[in-house]
DNA sequence: TCGTAACAATGAAACGATTCAAAGATTCGC
DNA sequence: GCGAATCTTTGAATCGTTTCATTGTTACGA
């Protein structure tokens, strides 16, 4: 039970040449029925398992794809990862997953590791600005697709979600259900996603004569941050209250919902309609089920793999930037007033 | 930019032998300063990156560890994974992550894949009963550590958390704060974790003369399941209500909290104390911050890696089963009545 | 100046799978 | 029964790294 059997051991055991064993594994049709059976028997008896390192070495490349995300704990990425894995499996590849945790150092480690593994390509949701590193990868000939980030289309392919469109969708929905005095909750505003969602919301409001949009900057995107914004709102007089609130993510929205329902001063959706963003699992099971904007995470993951395949296949590099439009999910929190 | 440079190219470029380049990479002290500089320069100029496949092939084993979890989306596992990655990184290994999604087929695929990769060993949180498969691994000489599952100690090492102790801790805490009519919420009761936590709670209650424990079986472990149990409780008369509720996980507890606070019939913790299990992120930011039982996930992940190292190092296989005791986290929901 | 120890550098062999040209076996038509 | 065509099998060469016995170089004390 010391060493794992090699193809040579199998060959000896079955009294055939190593090439034949390899053929049984890779081109079964080239081998006669009798020989095949003998070889398979030997494989079984010795408990032979292919050594992928040797395979790769010979092939010159692996059958794996590297995927580096900012945070595996984030349901957005979890879902993207799963979709990417499934898509990769379909074309016979496996995904090596790396979690950078928003840390440039860890990200760099994974990039190095994946290069040593000779991955077919890299899907990456990069930390901050890593143009130089990525340029290096490009020169080294490692096909790379950016995830959840737009890229210079002359250099990289990318998949992303249109946050401006998402913001528009949310605000438009509030307007469609009769609300006119809207508020946007989110922050810090220098996060791109926050800025884009706000911009989309503003666009929708400008299209609607008489509608207004108040911007409430939150300290972060957490439930607690949402609750303090909510508490501030509760202090206000009834007339100064917005009648529709769009939060830049669901956590904020849940926090706002807590403040408003806890005090029983205002009812959702009768007094205030509330919509979040991301459609996390908790949105359905909130006290008042929360309307939200769902991001097409499965499509993101799948498409990322597809774009990568395109790059791997064709040697002349034409890149594509695919942008998905998010989807409105209506629940009770934005019911008719 | 066609092929990546090999160690041979570097050797030529720097006018040294391949062995020297290898030494620069692996045993820098064996090489003179002058030569080292020349080689490093060549490496830089050619953009050389080690080919891990060749390295592994020569070494006979990889520097990776396989980790198969039931669900990466589950915060419990996410945390275990992160800890395992960090612990592995410390000893120079990387973790290959597989998500079986409670599916035996996917699990089998990952086991095969990891075997082909010649991982140093396997950490696995197995789907159902996979004794045969694992026995096979053992015969093949792949060191394996079971995660979150007790194992026959003559066969495998394992790391787990003592759910009975956790249940005891939760119930004991409710009793300590003066509650006597307790209720346990959880289900289905054939889930081992649920059964163990209940058993621990029963033990605590039996130790306390005059205390009672009512078992409320829920349909699953979700917020919605918790809410329906909560709604049922609200229907009861004030006197028939428990004064302390222990939920088998935080989602259930949040659901129960929703029902109780929404109707404003009962106050938490004044009328009813509430404690959950798992200490998920949402526990802190609940309307009433939720007391909970925290599982030592970091310790689990770290220890799993350590046990695996032990097995890898020593060839004579002595296994250990490490059981961790969870920790009580007190928040507002179990404040003094 | 010589001998020896310490240090550097060399390059062939090995890891295990795949490839492919060549050899060997079989089939078939005539 | 023979030659050609087809089907099987063979085994050496290859991928890129590490290892290690060997050779070459330098330094230093006698």
Q: What CATH number is attached to the domain comprising B24?
A: 1.10.260
- Mean of the per-residue pLDDT values of chain A: 93
Q: Please report whether residue A1 resides in a domain.
A: no
Mean pLDDT of A6-26: 96
One domain, residues A195 and A274 = yes
Tokens (6 digits) for A323: 């942008």
Which pLDDT does position A292 carry in this prediction? 98
pLDDT at A1 over 50: no
One domain, residues B240 and B187 = yes
Q: Count structural domains, chain A.
A: 3
- B137: nearest CA in chain A? A47
One domain, residues B170 and B287 = yes
Per-residue pLDDT band at A281 (split at 50, 70, 90): very high
Q: Which residue is nearest to nucleotide C15 (CA to C1')?
A: B58
Give the three-class secondary structure for A124.
strand
Stretch 169-208 of chain A: residues touching chain B, C-beta under 8 Å: none
Q: Please report whether residue A271 resides in a domain.
A: yes
Distance CA A58, CA A52 (A): 10
One domain, residues A67 and A142 = yes
Please indicate whether, in this complex, the C-beta atoms of B49 and A140 are within 8 angstroms of each other.
yes
Instruction: Give B152-203 as a DSSP string.
Output: -TTT-EEEEE-HHHHHHHHHHHHHHTT--EEEEEE--TTSHHHHHHHHHHHH
Residues of chain B under the 50 pLDDT cut: 1
Q: Please report whether residue B59 resides in a domain.
A: no
A140 versus B7: which is more confidently predicted?
B7
Please indicate whether, in this complex, the C-beta atoms of B223 and A141 are within 8 angstroms of each other.
no
pLDDT at A43 over 90: yes
Which pLDDT does position B2 carry in this prediction? 55
Which pLDDT does position A237 carry in this prediction? 80
Q: Which domain holds residue A240?
A: 163-295+329-334
Q: Please report whether residue B58 resides in a domain.
A: no
Q: Closest by alpha carbon to B279, among B157, B118, B170, B193?
A: B170
Q: Please report whether residue A222 resides in a domain.
A: yes
Q: Would you call A62 an interface residue with chain B, using a CB distance cutoff of 8 Å?
A: yes
One domain, residues A184 and A238 = yes
> C-alpha distances in angstroms, B337 versus B48, B244, B269?
68, 10, 6
pLDDT digits (tens, 9 = 90+) for B150-188: 888 888 999 999 999 999 999 999 999 999 999 999 989
One domain, residues B284 and B212 = yes
Q: Please report whether residue A128 resides in a domain.
A: yes
One domain, residues A178 and A273 = yes
Mean pLDDT of A287-293: 96
Q: Would you call A222 an interface residue with chain B, using a CB distance cutoff of 8 Å?
A: yes
Beta-bridge partners for A95: A65
Q: How far is the CA of A125 from the C1' of D27 (A)?
A: 56
One domain, residues B98 and B134 = yes
Distance CA A184, CA B131 (A): 54
Distance CA A178, CA A203 (A): 17
pLDDT digits (tens, 9 = 90+) for B23-66: 999 999 999 999 999 999 999 999 999 999 999 999 988 999 99
Q: Please report whether residue A72 resides in a domain.
A: yes
Q: Please report whether residue B169 resides in a domain.
A: yes
One domain, residues A201 and A276 = yes
One domain, residues B213 and B202 = yes
CATH of residue B176: 3.40.50.2300
Q: Would you call A26 an interface residue with chain B, using a CB distance cutoff of 8 Å?
A: no
Closest nucleotide relative to residue B23's CA, C1' based: D18
> C-alpha distances in angstroms, B103 versus A78, A321, B108, B109, B127?
17, 34, 9, 10, 7
Could you tell me the strand order of the sheet in which B94-99 lies? B94-99, B64-69, B122-124, B144-147, B157-161, B321-324
One domain, residues B157 and B306 = yes
Q: Closest by alpha carbon to A127, among A189, A74, A72, A70?
A: A70
One domain, residues B152 and B84 = yes
């Amino acid at each position: 039970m010391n060493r794992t059997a090699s193809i040579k051991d199998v060959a000896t055991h079955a009294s055939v040449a190593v090439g034949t064993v390899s053929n049984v594994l890779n081109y079964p049709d080239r081998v006669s029925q009798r020989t095949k059976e003998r070889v398979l028997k030997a494989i079984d008896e010795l408990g032979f398992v292919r050594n992928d390192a040797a395979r790769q070495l010979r092939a010159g490349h692996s059958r794996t794809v590297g995927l580096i995300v900012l945070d595996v704990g984030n349901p957005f990425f979890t879902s993207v990862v799963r979709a990417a894995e499934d898509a990769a499996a379909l074309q016979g590849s496996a995904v090596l997953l790396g979690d950078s945790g928003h840390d440039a150092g860890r990200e760099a480690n994974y990039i190095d590791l994946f290069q040593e593994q000779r991955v077919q390509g890299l899907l990456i949701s990069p930390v901050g600005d890593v143009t130089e590193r990525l340029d290096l990868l490009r020169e080294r000939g490692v096909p790379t697709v950016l995830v959840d980030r737009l890229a210079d289309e002359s250099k990289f392919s990318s998949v992303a979600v249109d946050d401006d469109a998402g913001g528009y969708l949310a605000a438009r929905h509030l307007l469609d259900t009769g609300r006119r005095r809207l508020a946007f909750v989110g922050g810090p505003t220098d996060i791109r996603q926050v800025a884009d969602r706000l911009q989309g919301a503003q666009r929708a409001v400008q299209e609607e004569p008489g509608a207004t949009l108040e911007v409430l900057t939150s300290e972060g995107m957490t439930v607690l941050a949402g609750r303090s914004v909510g508490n501030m709102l509760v202090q206000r007089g009834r007339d100064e209250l917005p009648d529709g609130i769009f939060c830049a993510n669901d956590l904020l929205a849940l926090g706002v919902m807590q403040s408003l329902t806890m005090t029983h001063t205002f009812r959702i959706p009768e007094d205030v309609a509330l919509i979040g963003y991301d459609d996390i699992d908790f949105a359905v099971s909130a006290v008042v089920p929360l309307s939200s904007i769902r991001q097409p995470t499965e499509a993101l993951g799948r498409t990322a793999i597809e774009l990568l395949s395109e790059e791997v296949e064709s040697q002349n590099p034409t890149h594509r930037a695919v942008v998905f439009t998010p989807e409105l999910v209506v629940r009770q929190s934005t019911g008719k007033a």
